[in-house]
């Protein structure tokens, strides 16, 4: 058993200072952070509570449960217990921040439930409540050196488990059997469990493991490959009861969270021979990945990378199968990763922001056909001069007898 990795004080201090600068620029007096992902980012703990960040001065972490654990995990100096939301204004006033003096207060309105928003509106009747979520997302999309090391550790776990995959493949085993082996490999190496998704109702378990036609089954999940899962309830996507068969594409796409940080990787396998049509499509996916990575550097426009991928798919005569089929195709080719699976940047039409050093993204050119899916996915870091690939498992299609 290894000791847990705690967020250094230098990290939280830098993050709080950055946020305070953004609050001042937006003309806000403070932000009240409640969403557990943001709470962890700024305080170093995911315990239930509130983090009050004034534009100037020390932040105040108020914990409902568990105070003892929050104190052990967070490097912040002001931490107190707050059992009832009704006492929040009193706690702030005791620390020099009377609720009535806050003219404007930032909240995470992209994820805050409406009823809870009403409670805060009642507590801060003299304050204008403003959505601070865009500022938080923009800050989090550039990773620090410490965060990048966490991402490297996560990528190494995925690579190690993919290296074990060929030894597990057996004709007749179910996708669920294969998924269980893969997921156990992740857990043994420190996967904390539970990929975080920002987007409403985009619950995601751990990943996809499919053979043949099951990879073409669409789902609610905003990705090129869905899968039936075990049925329509709970998480109706991912591995299901389909059995692995010879000469079909085995598609394995998993995320891994280590010390809170997420990487994403897809590799292809088969028992016997990969069908020629799917092998050709996979080679096209590799070519699209290479073409995009050749363009990745600070200043590159997000949209341009997506348009490049579309052009390459069309040139190959595969545009109707790129990133899904028919009405179930998705309209992106890459997404940011970090504490959540769906961070910025996003490579999609209409997004004209520029890449910056420290951004980390998963690039996933994929093709879906009625008989199966193929594609590649790696997690990459934007550097000062270009790009570094963090996930490094062999990209060749692995076929076993």
Strands (E), 142-225: 207-211
Domain identity same for 178 and 120: no
Domain identity same for 215 and 356: yes
Look at residue 267 and tell me if it is in a domain: yes
Which of 139, 166, 193 is the last residue in one of the domains? 139
CATH of residue 355's domain is 3.90.230.10
Which of 80, 109, 139 is the last residue in one of the domains? 139
Look at residue 121 and tell me if it is in a domain: yes
DSSP one-letter code for 211: E
Look at residue 4 and tell me if it is in a domain: no
Check residue 249 and give its pLDDT: 98
Look at residue 69 and tell me if it is in a domain: yes
Look at residue 330 and tell me if it is in a domain: yes
Domain identity same for 102 and 220: no
Check residue 1 and give its pLDDT: 60
Domain identity same for 269 and 184: yes
State the 10-residue block means of pLDDT for the chain, 401 residues long: 89 98 98 97 98 97 98 98 96 91 97 97 97 98 98 98 98 98 97 88 89 96 94 91 98 97 98 98 98 98 98 98 97 98 98 98 98 98 98 98 90
CATH of residue 65's domain is 3.40.350.10
Q: What's the chain's length in residues?
A: 401
CA distance 379 to 371: 27
What does pTM read for this prediction? Answer: 0.97
Q: How many degrees, rounded to 5, is the angle at CA 399 between CA 396 and CA 401? A: 160
Q: How many structural domains is the chain composed of?
A: 2
Look at residue 29 and tell me if it is in a domain: yes
Check residue 2 and give its pLDDT: 76
Which of 93, 117, 139 is the last residue in one of the domains? 139
DSSP codes joined into one string, 114-125: HHHHHHHHHHTT
Domain identity same for 32 and 132: yes
Ordered alpha helix ranges (H), 248-351 = 276-295, 302-315
The owner of tokens 């909240």 is 107
Domain identity same for 276 and 319: yes
């Amino acid at each position: 058993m290894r000791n847990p990795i705690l967020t250094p004080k230098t990290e939280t201090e830098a993050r709080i200072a950055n946020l305070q600068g953004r609050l001042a620029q937006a003309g806000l007096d403070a932000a009240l952070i409640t969403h557990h992902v943001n709470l962890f980012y700024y305080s170093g703990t995911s315990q239930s509570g509130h983090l009050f960040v004034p534009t100037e001065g020390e932040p105040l972490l108020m914990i409902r449960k568990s105070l003892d654990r929050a104190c052990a995990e967070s490097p912040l100096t002001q931490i107190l217990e707050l059992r009832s939301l009704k006492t929040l204004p009193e706690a702030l006033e005791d620390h020099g921040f009377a609720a009535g003096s806050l003219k404007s207060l930032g909240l995470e309105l992209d994820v805050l439930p409406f009823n809870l928003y009403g409670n805060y509106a009642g507590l801060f009747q003299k304050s204008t409540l403003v959505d601070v979520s865009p500022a938080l997302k923009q800050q989090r999309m550039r990773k620090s050196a410490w965060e990048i090391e966490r991402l490297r550790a996560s990528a190494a776990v995925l690579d190690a488990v993919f290296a074990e995959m060929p030894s597990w493949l057996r004709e007749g085993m179910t996708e669920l059997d294969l998924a269980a082996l893969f997921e156990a490999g992740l857990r043994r190496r420190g996967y904390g469990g539970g990929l975080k998704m920002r987007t409403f109702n985009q619950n995601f378990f751990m990943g996809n493991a499919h053979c043949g036609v099951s990879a073409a089954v669409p789902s609610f999940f905003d990705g090129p490959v869905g899968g039936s899962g075990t049925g329509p309830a709970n998480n109706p996507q991912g591995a299901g009861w389909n059995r692995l068969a010879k000469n079909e594409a085995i598609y394995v796409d998993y995320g891994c969270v280590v010390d809170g940080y997420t990487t994403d990787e897809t590799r292809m396998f088969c028992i016997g021979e990969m069908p020629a049509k799917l092998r050709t499509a996979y080679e096209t996916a590799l070519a699209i990945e290479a073409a995009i990575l050749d363009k990745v550097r600070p200043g590159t426009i997000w949209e341009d990378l997506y348009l490049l991928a579309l052009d390459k798919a069309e040139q190959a005569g595969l545009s109707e199968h790129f990133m899904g089929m028919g009405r179930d195709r998705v309209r992106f080719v890459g997404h940011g990763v970090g504490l959540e699976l769906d961070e910025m940047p996003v490579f999609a039409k209409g997004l004209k922001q520029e890449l910056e050093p420290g951004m980390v993204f998963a690039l996933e050119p994929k093709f879906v056909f009625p008989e199966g899916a193929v594609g590649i996915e790696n997690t990459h870091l934007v550097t000062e001069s270009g790009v570094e690939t963090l996930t490094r498992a062999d990209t060749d299609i692995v076929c076993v007898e």
